[in-house]
Structure 1
């Protein structure tokens, strides 16, 4: 059991108090309304939906419109937008304002996926400083009439030779973003290696009028407190650390309140959480798609527990709620939370050269909208 020793920092995202100063990072295929509801039961904070592309929203793509489902309990409703064209971004935010679709907009400039960067989107885009500023400005101006706060998330840069985060922070601050978040890795690192928290500290020194949030390698409440202590950041963004562990937000709430962090759940308690996750996914997608969507979470939930390989394989292929109940009944519900369940989880992969459009690095002041980078699908 851990006991926190660090006083929590105050965090505001525009008009919204975020207490504790914890944000659930948007994760493709993960942070749908079901997972957000599940995490939100364990602690307060800001829970952001999956990445929504501005073009898909403006064109009312059916899948995208279903993805922006929010539970009535979610306040504020937080939507992450991806875009590469200031005009499309402005139109998307005006649509959000006019149709009251969200209360907070987070802009994604951190995606390292090759299909995105090869067209100049995601983590590649902040290199084009003028274009980056124009996109942020378009969102902020469109959001102003409704008082919707806009935040911006980005990475350290494309690679070690082309860092962009200090410029991105300065530009976002100047264009009216109310906070910035740094995933302390380059696009070339993807999710591998170790996040460079010292970059968060440098950004905090560089951006002084709005909150700076840190993201990367927070797998426990102790990690979050250490990041704040080491970097001076105003809050933390949690991504892979909560996969199969929605109770991490309970731990974070306790830690930032200076209270003892609860012990991890028994396997029986995990089974209850897993069953509730299945119910929430079924409510959102229907039983067939909902239970199939749960499969990707099974290894995360069961990590470190004494569950045989055959049973794990059956969990990974589960198709119905009835089948899930049978499998959950076969677990040893008395098994205690394993010590080795902490630590990195989810995708890590290995570093790789970032694929960019031809000539992308020639002129950082070029504000030309990259051809073909507007995505017609949401979620990454």
Structure 2
């Protein structure tokens, strides 16, 4: 789908950015779609690729254990479109042996061209078992998981990357040591969400941490993540930190055309996209169609698109009644009827549609296994808790 309207340039054009190289893959626009649970499925990735075909689009997080056990839902989640390249999958795991088996399945069955490892999830049900953002605190466990994945995948030419956070909280940073270890173990790139687990998505990302990581990790690309709400933000992050590319998460919710803006910005253009309400409605409808194909179920697709409604309509004068009705839509015919009531000529609302999207939450104490912070080593009783961490992650 093409949107022809554009807002006045908001930033001066800059020199084109070099492509991002991840192992054998050259990513023309140094932009990566962040894995987001329930969001970055095949349907959403397809939609975004239409706007930025030269970016890298990563699947939502896949649990290693569920993959090894060939959970039907997980096997569906790792499917890619025929034209999707590189095929990128994010793995979550807490046990080196299980992660090794999951990586082996992906590469020997030709299901992925790139594997990303999740060490940034701040969700309590994950961290309380020692997974996600809590795991890099245990340095040798972290090393073991990275080594297992890299060893299995690199033998077949598949690059492995790592995505992590600054640390558990302000008193327990892990990112610099984790970056060193990841580089030593042969990863192809390291991405940093510049918040701690205790911040969740609240407050402001500390971009200076990305710059410090760039000073430590010098042999492979460093990618920055956090508070990229516009193409101008992405360019500013690269300038401020020296990172090699950016990872975009919540900023693209309800606005897949952000990848067109990012592509333009890193090509040296100040062009930005400003769709009318009619164009937004057509994009929302197309998203729903892709979801219906993905699920093979029109009703499920309509239930899924409900969570995207507020993001798509942010700032527009759509009215509370139609917003409420759209949030209850259950088939495409009903969706079409409601979208037909929107004013297609309503212009892009500007600042009202910009800025943060998604739930930020609030700072919190991170749930951790008992005595987790007493040592960087993994004690036997903690190992037992960690062994159950994947069981607490539902879905893929």
- Give 1:260 deviation, angstroms: 2.8
User: Paired residue for 2:299?
Assistant: 288
| Equivalent residue number for residue 374 of structure 1 | 390
* Alignment partners' CA distance in 1, 2:376 and 2:16: 41
SS of residue in 2 equivalent to 1:153: strand
8 Å CA contact retained: 1:29, 1:379: no
Secondary structure of the structure 1 residue equivalent to 2:58: strand
Which of 357, 361, 364 is the equivalent residue of 1:345?
357
Cα distance in 2 for residues equivalent to 1:62 and 1:110 = 25
> Deviation of residue 345 (structure 1)?
0.4
Picking from 318, 326, 340, the partner of 1:315 is 326
Distance 1:359 1:184 in 2: 25
CA RMSD of aligned residues (A): 1.2
Query: Which of 273, 282, 291 matches 1:263?
Result: 273
**Which digits, 9 at most, give the CA deviation of each residue in 1:90-117, with x for residues without a partner?**
0101111121111100000000000000
- 2:240 is the counterpart of 1:230: yes
Q: What corresponds to 1:205 in structure 2?
A: 215
CA contact (8 A) 1:128 1:367 kept: no
**1:109 aligns to what?**
119
Aligned residue in 1 for 2:4: none
CA distance in 1, matches of 2:330, 2:283: 18
Corresponding residue SS for 1:361: helix
Residue 21, structure 1, aligned to residue 37, structure 2: no
The answer for the alignment partner of 1:355 in structure 2 is 367
Distance in 2, Cα, partners of 1:375 & 1:264? 43
Structure 1 residue 362, shift from structure 2 partner: 1.5
* Cα displacement (A) at 1:372: 1.1
Q: 2:47 & 2:235 partners in 1: Cα distance?
A: 23
CA contact (8 A) 1:56 1:378 kept: no
* Distance in 2 separating the partners of 1:133 and 1:367: 16
Distance apart, 1:262 and its partner CA: 2.8
1:10 alignment counterpart: 19
- Does structure 2 retain, via aligned residues, the 8 Å contact 1:110–1:183? yes
- Whether 1:31 aligns to 2:40 is yes
Query: SS where residue 165 of structure 2 aligns?
Result: strand
SS in 2 for 1:79: strand
Match of 1:59 in 2: 69
SS at match of 1:195: coil
Pairwise CA distance, 1:379: 5.4
Kept in 1, the 8 Å contact 2:257–2:273? The answer is no
In 1, the alpha carbon distance for the partners of 2:103 and 2:387 equals: 21
Q: What's the CA shift for 1:376?
A: 6.7
Higher mean C-alpha displacement, 336-345 vs 260-269: 260-269
For 1:294-352, what per-residue CA distance to the aligned partner results, in whole angstroms no more than 9, with x for missing partners? 00000000000001100000011111000000011000100111111010000101000
Counterpart in the other structure of 1:50: 60
Asked if the contact 1:64/1:378 (under 8 Å) is kept, the reply is: no
Q: Are 1:141 and 2:151 counterparts?
A: yes
Q: Find the counterpart in structure 2 of residue 301 from structure 1.
A: 312
Q: CA deviation at 1:136?
A: 0.1
Q: Distance in 2 between matches of 1:146 and 1:271?
A: 43
Distance 2:123 2:49 in 1: 28
Q: Are 2:343 and 1:326 equivalent residues in the alignment?
A: no
Normalising by structure 2, report the TM-score.
Answer: 0.94
Please give the alpha-carbon distance, in whole angstroms, between the structure 2 residues aligned to 1:270 and 1:264: 10
Task: Provide TM-score, normalisation by structure 1.
Answer: 0.98
Tell me the CA shift for residue 6 of structure 1: 4.3
Alignment check: 8 A CA contact 1:245 1:301 kept: yes
